[in-house]
A and B are shown apart, each in its own frame.
Chain A
Amino acid sequence: GAVVSQHPSRVICKSGTSVKIECRSLDFQATTMFWYRQFPKQSLMLMATSNEGSKATYEQGVEKDKFLINHASLTLSTLTVTSAHPEDSSFYICSAHYGTPNYGYTFGSGTRLTVV
């Protein structure tokens, strides 16, 4: 089946530094990928929609200059958390759909970001 590989699975960084998270579709091409954020014991909140070859679409309240998204190829999207602060600590998850959107969304395994 369609697999999305997300790296790293865990990262700890110091306040003020930047962290890049990668999301790769392994056996299919993903023109669109989605980035979610999940706080403990809460559901997934969509941050942005990543479009190959064009600018990402950000949800209301998500700072595009802080959460940089690059979707340079049909198999790779990256999310960079710039100038990270402790409040950015969260579980970040990417996903992509394969086939028709009605039938398939596959998710990465998530990245646990801790900013100290």
Chain B
Amino acid sequence: TQLLEQSPQFLSIQEGENLTVYCNSSSVFSSLQWYRQEPGEGPVLLVTVVTGGEVKKLKRLTFQFGDARKDSSLHITAAQPGDTGLYLCAGNAGNMLTFGGGTRLMVKP
């Protein structure tokens, strides 16, 4: 069983602060994806990282895949209330996604 440990589980910050969410595993993944989920809705894909060491940017969000393809991070710069939500990392191996436990982010105005 491949496990993804995501941290922190909860994060409450003020608008304008920066934050980083981590996703770690002892397993190697062919790719790793980050999703954001709103209450009562399905997850929405933010980004997919495939190559070890890869860095992708999506506006104020920066995603990084570890060199060994076992871990990833999501960094948000100058967080805004609209960033509030559940962030999920998911590792892809063997045509199947394994989800991390999720990070519930609240950005206060």
Given contacts A46-B96, A110-B41, contact A102 B101 (CB under 8 A): no
A43 adjacent to B101 (CB under 8 Å): yes
Interface residues of B in 8-40 (CB under 8 A from A): 30-31, 33, 35, 40
B99 adjacent to A44 (CB under 8 Å): yes
Kindly provide the distance from the CB of A28 to the nearest chain B CB, expressed in whole angstroms: 15
A110 adjacent to B42 (CB under 8 Å): yes
**CB contact between B92 and one of A32, A45, A101, A107 (< 8 Å): that residue:** A101
Query: How many A-B contacts at CB < 8 Å in the complex?
Result: 60
With CB as the reference atom, state the residue of chain A lying closest to B35: A107
Report the interface size class on chain B. Answer: 20 to 34
B40 adjacent to A32 (CB under 8 Å): no
**Contacting residues, chain B, for A102 (C-beta < 8 A):** 30-31, 48, 50, 92
Residue ranges of B at the interface with A (Cβ–Cβ < 8 Å): 6, 30-31, 33, 35, 40-45, 48, 50, 88, 90, 92, 95-102, 104
Q: Which 10 A-B pairs have the closest CB atoms?
A: A107-B42, A102-B31, A43-B102, A44-B99, A43-B99, A110-B42, A43-B101, A109-B42, A101-B95, A107-B43
Residue ranges of A at the interface with B (Cβ–Cβ < 8 Å): 4, 6, 32, 34, 41-46, 49, 91, 93, 95, 97, 101-110, 112
